[in-house]
Structure 1
C-alpha cells in the first residue's frame, strides 16, 4: 500500500554510513499561542550541522558528534540556545515573538544602500569558497490551494559547487509517489528539473541584480528593524524596484560585523528564502524554501545543505539527462534500510494524514 511506502525513517548527515550517532527529535513552539513555528533554523554545535523545522514546528537531528549546543533562530522570534544539560532525546522549545515596533530614528535609504554595497564587496571573502561540497536532502511537493496532495518526491545526495560553472550534484537515492490522478500524471512525465533549481541557490554564481554592483542602481534600499540571527547582530534591509525584473522586492539580512549575508528572501510573485550558515568565519548554504504557484497547483521545495567532503563513486547528474526515464531509474523502494541513515525535515501532519488515508 502507498501508506506503507512513505513512512520510513529518513536521517541525514555528512558521514552517511556511520552507525554511531546522537538522535534528537524536537518541536519549536510559539510561547504565546503554543503552536508550532515553521522554518525555524536549528544549528548544532555552532554550525557543525543545520536543519529547519517543518510546518508543525518539528525537527529531527542526527549527529555523528556529541550534541553540546543547539541554537534556534527565526525572523519573527527572539533567538534561543540550549546547552548539553538541557538537551535530551526529545526537545521542546518555546520562542518569544519578537517586537515588530519601528525604530524612532529612520536611517536614510542611501545608508542602507551603503550597507548593501559593503555586503557585495565582501561576498568574495564571505561566500566564495571553492570547492564547496554539500550533503543535501530536498523535498518537493505538489498540492492544490486547499492542501490536497498530488505528488511528493525526496532526494538525498551531494553537490559540488563553484562560482563559474553550474553546480554538479550526485544522487545517492530518490523516492517519489503520487496521491491523486493529477499526481499520477505528474509522475509519468516527471523530470528532475525541480532538483536542478538548486543550482540557483548558489550565491557565488547567481548574484542577482539587487546584490550586484553594476546592476543594482534601479533598486531602493530601506532599513527594517535590526535582528539577531544565530547570535549575530544583523541589519534587515528591504529592497524594491519598479523595473521589469523577476526580483522586484525582498529582504536581505546582513551581518553587522563582517557584512556576510545570512538570509535573502524574495517576496514578489514566487516566494523564495535562502539561508546561510556562518561557520568558522565563512558563510555556507544551509536551507532553501521555495513556493512556486502554478496555474492548477502549488509546487513547494525544501532543501537542507550541510558542508562536507566530496563523495567518491557518485553518478553526477547532467541536466540534459533529466528525462522521465532517467528519473525512474533513481526512484527506489520507500521501505528499504538505506533511508534510515539520513536526517530530514519531518513530514507535517497535513501530509501524513493524506498519506494514511490514500488507498
Structure 2
C-alpha cells in the first residue's frame, strides 16, 4: 500500500535570534474599509468562514474565528452589492453605500428539504458520487490561466500564548484545472515576529508555508488525500444534506477502513447537487499511530526529544465565478506534543495557517514567466519575512481580520518596536 508522506510537514530545529526590521507603506485613499460581524440570526453566535464577495468583481474575504471581517473596496465600486454566504444559511445581499461599520449582520439558517429525486441516483453509493466529483475537474472548474491575489497568515502558539506570527500577500499563478502543471507562488509582501522566549529551546517552522495550504485544493491535487489507490481504503456514507446560496449540497462522510493501519483522513465532503462540484471539505488526519503520523510531519528535531502530532485538521472552500468553480480559502491546524527525555513535563505547540483568495484575474498569456520572483515549495515563510510594521503596511491589499488573541499579540509587538 502506498503511504502519503508528502503532505504539509513541520520542521522542528534549534532556534536562531529573530531580527525585526521596520517597514512602512502609504495608505491608498482610493479605498473604503468595510467591516462587521456575521452572526446566526437565531443564536447570535459568530459564523466562521462566511464568504463576503463584492458582486460583479473578484474582490472577497472570509470571516475569522470571531465572525469578523474587513474588506477594502475601491471608491469607484461603493454602489455595488456585498454578497454574504455561508454553508447552511440563506444568502444575504447588502449595498456597500448603506453599510454601517461594526454592525452585526444576521444570516438566517436555511431550511433544506431532502431532495429524494436528485439523491436517488447515488443512494447507498456515496463512493460513486465522490469518484464522479473528482472526475469533473476539467468541466466545472476554472480552466484558464489565473493570477490570484492571496493573503496568508501563519501562527505558532505554545499552549495558548502566541509565540510566532507571520503574514504575507502572495500572487498565485494558478494553472488550469484541466492540466497537470503545478501552481506557482510569488511573494509580494511579508511581515513576522517571533518571541522565542515562549518556545523554550525549540523553534517550530512550517516548511512549505503557503504551498501547504494550496495543496489542500483536493480537486487540483487529489494525490495528497484521494489517490485512485487510496480510495479503496475509505468507507463513504451520506450525511444530512444542507444548502448554500439556495442550492442543495450533498454531505459525504468518509473515514479509513478499520483494517488499514497507515494514517489516512476522515471528515466531510460538501458536493453541489447541480454540478457535482466540491464546494468545501473539512477533514483530519488519523493520528492514533504516533510513529507513522510523526513521520508525515517532522523533518528535523533534536535527538533528545520526541515530537508527535495530536491533531491535524484541514479545511478547503471553493467559490463560483461565471459558472466555474475555483479555490478560495483553506485552513490548516496542527497540534504537537513535545517530550524532552529526562524532563517531567511536556510542551504542547499548535500551528495554524490560513490562506484566502482576495482577488483574481484571468490571464490570456502564459503566467509565471519570471522564475526568480517565485518561492519554492520548501520555503519557510518566517525566513522570508522582515518584521511587523505600522498599520499602513498593507496598502490596498485585503487581509483576514485577526482573531482577538492574535490582534492583542500584534499590538504588544508594535509597542515593543516603538520602545526599541
How far 1:315 moved relative to its partner? 1.3
1:304 aligns with 2:356: yes
RMSD: 3.8
Note closer, same or farther for the CA distance 1:141–1:209 as it changes in structure 2 (3 Å cut).
Answer: closer
Equivalent residue in structure 1 for 2:234, among 219, 236, 254: 219
1:51 aligns with 2:61: yes
Q: C-alpha separation between the residues in 2 aligned to 1:136 and 1:47?
A: 15
Match of 2:188 in 1: 172
Match of 2:244 in 1: 229
How far 1:155 moved relative to its partner? 0.7
Equivalent residue in structure 2 for 1:152, among 165, 172, 183: 165
1:26-175 aligned within 5 A: 26-45=36-55, 48-64=58-74, 66=77, 68-75=80-87, 77-84=88-95, 87-90=98-101, 91-97=103-109, 110-127=124-141, 129-145=143-159, 147-162=160-175, 163-175=179-191
Native 8 Å contact 2:331 2:353 kept in 1: yes
Q: C-alpha separation between the residues in 2 aligned to 1:190 and 1:113?
A: 37
The superposition leaves residues 193-252 of structure 1 with CA deviations (integer Å, 9 ceiling, x where unpaired) of 323313413445411487555542332222212222234321111112223454431111
Native 8 Å contact 1:209 1:215 kept in 2: no
Match of 1:259 in 2: 276
Q: C-alpha separation between the residues in 1 aligned to 2:208 and 2:401?
A: 23
TM (norm. structure 2) is 0.70
How far 1:167 moved relative to its partner? 2.1
Equivalent residue in structure 2 for 1:197, among 212, 215, 222: 212
What is the DSSP-based 3-state SS (H/G/I as helix, E as strand, rest coil) of the residue aligned with 2:407?
helix
Native 8 Å contact 1:102 1:224 kept in 2: no
How far 1:134 moved relative to its partner? 1.2
Match of 1:343 in 2: 398
Native 8 Å contact 2:157 2:163 kept in 1: yes
Q: C-alpha separation between the residues in 2 aligned to 1:209 and 1:316?
A: 22
Note closer, same or farther for the CA distance 1:185–1:164 as it changes in structure 2 (3 Å cut).
Answer: farther
Q: C-alpha separation between the residues in 2 aligned to 1:346 and 1:183?
A: 25
Q: C-alpha separation between the residues in 2 aligned to 1:274 and 1:74?
A: 14
How far 1:22 moved relative to its partner? 4.1
Native 8 Å contact 1:192 1:323 kept in 2: yes
How far 1:184 moved relative to its partner? 8.8
1:182 aligns with 2:192: no
For structure 1, which segment, 243-252 or 53-62, has the greater mean C-alpha deviation from structure 2 after superposition?
A: 243-252
Note closer, same or farther for the CA distance 1:38–1:184 as it changes in structure 2 (3 Å cut).
Answer: farther
Native 8 Å contact 1:127 1:203 kept in 2: no
Native 8 Å contact 2:25 2:393 kept in 1: no
What is the DSSP-based 3-state SS (H/G/I as helix, E as strand, rest coil) of the residue aligned with 1:78?
coil
For structure 1, which segment, 253-262 or 334-343, has the greater mean C-alpha deviation from structure 2 after superposition?
A: 334-343
TM (norm. structure 1) is 0.80
For structure 1, which segment, 294-303 or 109-118, has the greater mean C-alpha deviation from structure 2 after superposition?
A: 109-118
The superposition leaves residues 265-289 of structure 1 with CA deviations (integer Å, 9 ceiling, x where unpaired) of 1134411110001111111111111
How far 1:135 moved relative to its partner? 0.8
The superposition leaves residues 116-172 of structure 1 with CA deviations (integer Å, 9 ceiling, x where unpaired) of 232123122123624232110010111133x21111100102011335343211111
Native 8 Å contact 1:72 1:230 kept in 2: no
The superposition leaves residues 293-337 of structure 1 with CA deviations (integer Å, 9 ceiling, x where unpaired) of 1223000111101322568878111345x368xx54542551274
Note closer, same or farther for the CA distance 1:129–1:86 as it changes in structure 2 (3 Å cut).
Answer: same
How far 1:174 moved relative to its partner? 0.6
Q: C-alpha separation between the residues in 2 aligned to 1:59 and 1:297?
A: 27
Native 8 Å contact 1:165 1:205 kept in 2: no
How far 1:87 moved relative to its partner? 4.2
What is the DSSP-based 3-state SS (H/G/I as helix, E as strand, rest coil) of the residue aligned with 1:123?
coil
Match of 1:14 in 2: none
Note closer, same or farther for the CA distance 1:156–1:312 as it changes in structure 2 (3 Å cut).
Answer: farther
